[in-house]
Amino acid sequence: MNAPRHDPSSVGAAKAQKVQFNEPLRLRGGAELPEFEIAYETYGRLNEARSNAVLVCHALNASHHVAGFYEDDPQNVGWWDNLVGPGKPLDTNRFLVVGSNYIGSCFGSTGPASLNPATGKPWGADFPVVTVEDWVEAQARLADRLGIERFAAVIGGSLGAMQALQWTLSYPERIRHSIVIAAAAKLTPQNIAFNEVARQAIMTDPDFHGGHYYERGVVPTRGLRIARMIGHITYLSGEAMSEKFGRLLRRGAPGFDFDIDFEIESYLRYQGDKFSSYFDANTYLRITKALDYFDPAADYGGDLTKALARAQAAFLVVSFKSDWRFPPARSRDIVRALLDNRRIVSYLELDAPGGHDAFLLEDPRYHTALRHYFSNIDL
């Protein structure tokens, strides 16, 4: 497969890098990580004024591999490759784009499968619960190492959007633009409920062993599989599912048994199998908790306007009408609080069919908006 190598709009071969931090990181939950590593990738170049860096924050199951492909694995294309590249909406000819993997991940940054320096064994269940605030803290240290004092923009969708928002609160002076896509300033009980079902699926898997499954050489794949299936249902809109699968029968007629009948069943099983083959159960538990705990207004009696008073950045907020996991009303909450604080904000509410996953797709209106927005950022 040589194709991507010759694609002028691809960043080309990407190189995952790691940086080690020996200063302990105090976490919101009270625990401390004595040392940690962050995996990251960069595309483009930092300009002389160091004013053109854009941080891309990833969501639940993605990583620092945002764009391009790996020399030894050309099929492994970055998760936001449709957005990031030379001449693409987030143009790497103009910006230095940084993809950073959050701590607690299973893709390179220190996480539950890493070795606990205190025991010399994998952290497993002992790896602390990390939060969006902790991730921003770690990303700020990465920015220090890369010589980035201030980001031109921080962008993310879903859980990534929570990080883009948190950046404006943790480091208001270090971010000029925050691009918050398919977001919520906090999860609803319904959302937390979905996460809890996913966690229960994992924790009740007999191979989970209280989170210490690495040393037993097993993986709670059944639990992870079901967790992913539940999640996947919520990322797609009902409409998109109908359109994609309808009530198509795999075998042409009902089997009157418990093999796969409907296409949607086949799709969910496939997604579940695929996910459970590469994702770590302990990581999944922790990111769903990070989602559940995110609520910047909590310290302000639930008043989001007060919570966002610290933010100085200009905002672009984008939501998708078919997204029922983080529906437009949740984005409007953020916009309202920003307006109350007289912040610079634009808000797009696009009638795109993709559900929550629409932020990863290439709706022309969505990408045009991002292209215009980025090109108006002064360097």
Is 299 noted as a catalytic residue in this protein? no
Half-sphere exposure of 317 (CA within 13 A, CB side): 27
Rounded to a whole number of angstroms, the minimum distance from the CB of residue 334 to other proteins is 11
Residues 51, 158, 237, 322: which is the catalytic one?
158
Q: How far apart, in whole angstroms, are the C-alpha atoms of residue 52 and residue 148?
A: 9
Rounded to a whole number of angstroms, the minimum distance from the CB of residue 340 to other proteins is 6
**Two tokens at 253?**
């007629």
Q: How far apart, in whole angstroms, are the C-alpha atoms of residue 114 and residue 204?
A: 23
For residues 308 and 317, is the Cβ–Cβ distance under 8 A? no
Q: Which span sits near other proteins by CB under 8 A: 111-119, 245-253, 281-289, 366-374?
A: 366-374
Complex with other proteins: residue 176 or 289, whichever CB lies closer: 176
Q: How far apart, in whole angstroms, are the C-alpha atoms of residue 136 and residue 167?
A: 6
Residue from 178, 182, 154 nearest 57 by CA? 154
For residues 153 and 143, is the Cβ–Cβ distance under 8 A? no
For residues 67 and 11, is the Cβ–Cβ distance under 8 A? yes
Rounded to a whole number of angstroms, the minimum distance from the CB of residue 15 to other proteins is 33
Complex with other proteins: residue 53 or 316, whichever CB lies closer: 316
Per rule CB under 8 A, count of chain residues that contact other proteins = 21
For residues 135 and 105, is the Cβ–Cβ distance under 8 A? no
362 contacts other proteins (rule: CB under 8 A)? no
Is 64 noted as a catalytic residue in this protein? no
Is 372 noted as a catalytic residue in this protein? no
Determine the 3-state secondary structure of 318 from DSSP.
strand
Write the binding mask 281 to 320 for other proteins: x where contact by CB under 8 A, - elsewhere.
-----------------------------------x----
Write the binding mask 319 to 358 for other proteins: x where contact by CB under 8 A, - elsewhere.
-------------x--xx--xx-x-xxxxxxxx-------
Rounded to a whole number of angstroms, the minimum distance from the CB of residue 67 to other proteins is 22
Complex with other proteins: residue 2 or 376, whichever CB lies closer: 376
Q: Which position among 95, 167, 293, 373 is part of the footprint of other proteins (CB under 8 A)?
A: 373
For residues 55 and 174, is the Cβ–Cβ distance under 8 A? no
Residue in the block written with tokens 């925050």? 178
Residues 205, 280, 323, 333: which is the catalytic one?
323
Q: How far apart, in whole angstroms, are the C-alpha atoms of residue 90 and residue 189?
A: 34
List active site positions. 158, 323, 356
Binding site for other proteins (CB under 8 A): 316, 332, 335-336, 339-340, 342, 344-351, 365, 368-369, 372-373, 376
